[in-house]
Amino acid sequence: AQKVTQAQTEISVVEKEDVTLDCVYETRDTTYYLFWYKQPPSGELVFLIRRNSFDEQNEISGRYSWNFQKSTSSFNFTITASQVVDSAVYFCALGVVDYKLSFGAGTTVTVRA
């Protein structure tokens, strides 16, 4: 069975602070995909990134960066210089077979001006 754990329920920061969201996953499969999604108050899940299990390179996209470490089964997400528009719920997800996703419980990020 697959499992995704996001231990942080809520994080509150002041604008321009960096914020790191933790994600730990469990699977016995050697081939899998990891994802991060953003869910703003409107409710729609917005895709941020997908990584496969064979690519451990860290990735940076603007103010967003991701750290994938298979040794610790973690796929952490950092927002640098946070902005109020970053306020949302962020979900980490794991995909193994048939394109189904297993989501974590989410981390609510609040960025205060």
Residues within the interface to other proteins (CB under 8 A) = 4, 33, 35, 37, 42-45, 47, 50, 91, 93, 95, 98-106
Strands 24-26 and 33-39, bridge-based pairing: unpaired
Query: Minimum Å distance from CB 113 to other proteins?
Result: 25
Query: Minimum Å distance from CB 58 to other proteins?
Result: 20
* Pick 43 or 62: Cβ nearer other proteins: 43
Phi, psi of 86 (to 5 degrees): -80, -10
Apex CA 61: angle with CA 11 and CA 90, to 5°?
30
* Pick 54 or 99: Cβ nearer other proteins: 99
Structure token pair of residue 85: 């528009």
* Pick 13 or 45: Cβ nearer other proteins: 45
Residues 38/90, Cβ–Cβ less than 8 Å: yes
